[in-house]
Chain A
Amino acid sequence: MFSKAFKSEFYRISRMKSTYILIAVLAAIILIVNFLYLKVDMYGLMGFSKEDIEGIQQMGTSAESYEDSFMTGFQAGLQSSEEIAEGDTTIHLLGEGILYEESVATLYTMDVGSMYELLLISIFVGLYIGSVYSTGLDKNLNNFAGRRGLLFAVRMLHIAVYSLVMHIFTWIFCLITTAMMAKSVRLEIDKAFILYFIVTWLLCVAFGWIVAGMAHMSRSKAAGITLGIILSAGLLSTLISVASLMMQKRFDLDPDFNLGYYTVTHNVAALNLYSDGHFVVRALICALVYGAISYIGSLLIIRKRDIA
């Protein structure tokens, strides 16, 4: 029964235009964003020359804070941006972008952290799960009438698979744009990258399941997609900050406490190849907890109510 459901749902997804359109949109966004990272001379636009930046980077060490390193560089005789602007530095729009010399892996973390992959996954999930209710599809599947949990599991699995596909495509598009626009192509597929890839994928799956939960609960495409947009665009961040402050006061918590650290979107945005172990573990726990809650919650709703 599982393989029958899997094939049927796979076919349905394969015939949905949005499946491909969303990947095309992802490609277009990555092309534009990576063009900004790789080919737009941001420092030049700000009035810095390449040598200035290198000087600042050389003077600042990892042991010092950014502020300290900047001051050290400044005291070493570097000119301020105002002074450069007054000189004969030519400002170019195109040139070497801020990630021009970085690896595919670094570019990938920037793209994943930018949330548009999450946004596109939420649109897919909203359309995929929402169409079950808008068409009444499950009415056709009498053979699954007594096995709703199985059909649900297959759909959740497909969301996980589609998230993986989006994650892989993000990397492929990063690779392509790097080949097109960066100084050199360095993949840097090491342990840190693989861990980053897996943890962020799990976060994407959890996010997809949260959106699916909303679509199941409301039986609507729009509600799921709207929730996805709200979360991925960070529209709740102010609310979360206020709630964090209130909790700090109410429970006498550490001033560093922030509820946002325990959200899927924050973890996707904050995680990178150099994140400390406890950040990675926190992200992993968030992915598993949110995923489990969304899965079980949706399943309970589905099992309780009638199909039609």
Chain B
Amino acid sequence: MEEYLLVTKDLTKTYKEITAADRVNIHIKRGSIYGLIGKNGAGKTTIMKMIAGLARPTSGSFDYTGFNCTQNEAFSRIGALIEAPAIEPNLTGFDNMRIKCLAYGIGDKQYINDLLDLVGLSGTWKKKAGKYSLGQKQRLGIALALVGDPDFLILDEPINGLDPQGIAEVREMLHKLNQERKITILISSHILEELSKLATDYAIIDNGRIIEESTNKELKEKCRDKIAIKTGEVAKALPVIDGLGFKDYSVVNDKTIHVFDKLSEITVLNMELAKAQIPVESIGIESSDLEEYFLKVTGTIPGERR
């Protein structure tokens, strides 16, 4: 059984009459990079705030099972960058870091310099944070989240405002933190392409509810090119597919079959199904990246799930 760091149980947050998070159940494995995917206002930030201790759940609970400690102690082992980085603009990057370091009992100034180096702000630590570019502020926010060597990093849209090079650097850095320091990361991003390069697990959230939770492998499976067959006679269609030598296929539901190999033989497959007098409602090649898949799943564009 895989070891979970965090498990939420029916986590719910309501603001007056708006339910921002609705009975959310997510399972974050220790050492994973967990991607939270959702539209603006879907409830990603609310979930992150609750598990970072910044907002109280209206109902439900969460448990840092992997830490084996009280919730208050668990909060000490979390680093979070949620929404805009919390930066005092009139202070330098170094001073902003020092405030947090002292709150964590870290007095070593070299520690701050090392963290600023890590996020690529080594040359700017004397500059007032208010004069940082958007990307630099984001990097400082990540550096602040790393103070105290957290075991669990919560990053809400951490690559917002970064240029392509910056995005690649942050991706590399997060990958390194995950691999070398064994930090578990919960990350949300609108740039799904980037998220797909990083995350090992995903949860898709829409209107405050988790629609789907899957591993990277499962998601890639769902996203890869395939022949999608819609028929009312799935059981009868399977021997035909087998007979034509297709090996890699799966029955999605009682009306849908996905065939992943020999995509060029779609015409033959269609003819054989017709010969076997199997009514085919539709047949065609579907290909989707993570973004398309997300849009289909959340019902933003017409798709198979809604």
Binding site for B on A (CB under 8 A): 4-5, 7-8, 11-12, 15-17, 131, 135-147, 306-308
Contact = CB atoms under 8 A, between A and B. Distances in A.
Nearest to A10: B102
B52 A142 contact: yes
Contact of A4 (B89, B95, B102): B102
Contacts of B55: 306-308
B54 A143 contact: no
Given A142-B79, A308-B83, A137 B56 contact: no
A248 B187 CA distance: 64
Contacts of A142: 52-54, 75-76, 78-80
B148 A308 contact: no
Given A7-B102, A143-B104, A15 B91 contact: yes
B103 A145 contact: no
Given A145-B52, A306-B56, 19 more contacts: A4-B105, A8-B103, A15-B91, A135-B89, A136-B84, A137-B99, A140-B86, A140-B100, A140-B103, A140-B144, A141-B103, A142-B52, A142-B79, A142-B80, A306-B54, A307-B53, A307-B55, A308-B49, A308-B83
Contacts, number: 85
Contacts of B105: 4
B86 A135 contact: yes
A139 B99 contact: no
A86 B87 CA distance: 68
A308 B80 CA distance: 12
B172 interface: no
A113 to B, nearest CB: 33
Given A11-B102, A16-B90, A139-B86, A308 B76 contact: no
B72 A137 contact: no
27 contacts: A4-B103, A4-B104, A8-B100, A8-B102, A11-B102, A15-B91, A135-B89, A136-B83, A136-B84, A136-B86, A137-B86, A139-B54, A140-B100, A141-B100, A142-B54, A142-B76, A142-B78, A143-B103, A144-B103, A145-B75, A146-B71, A147-B72, A307-B53, A307-B54, A307-B55, A308-B55, A308-B82
B90 A146 contact: no
B99 A11 contact: yes
Contacts of A138: 54, 86
A181 B151 CA distance: 63
B102 A135 contact: no
A12 B88 contact: yes
Contacts of A306: 49, 54-56
B87 A135 contact: yes
Interface in B43-60: 49, 52-56
Interface-centre pick from B79, B89, B102 (highest chain A CB count, 10 A): B102
A306 B86 CA distance: 15
B30 interface: no
B98 interface: yes
Nearest to B129: A135
A45 B144 CA distance: 62
Contacts of B86: 135-140
Nearest to B76: A143
A6 to B, nearest CB: 9
Nearest to A308: B54
Contacts of A136: 83-84, 86
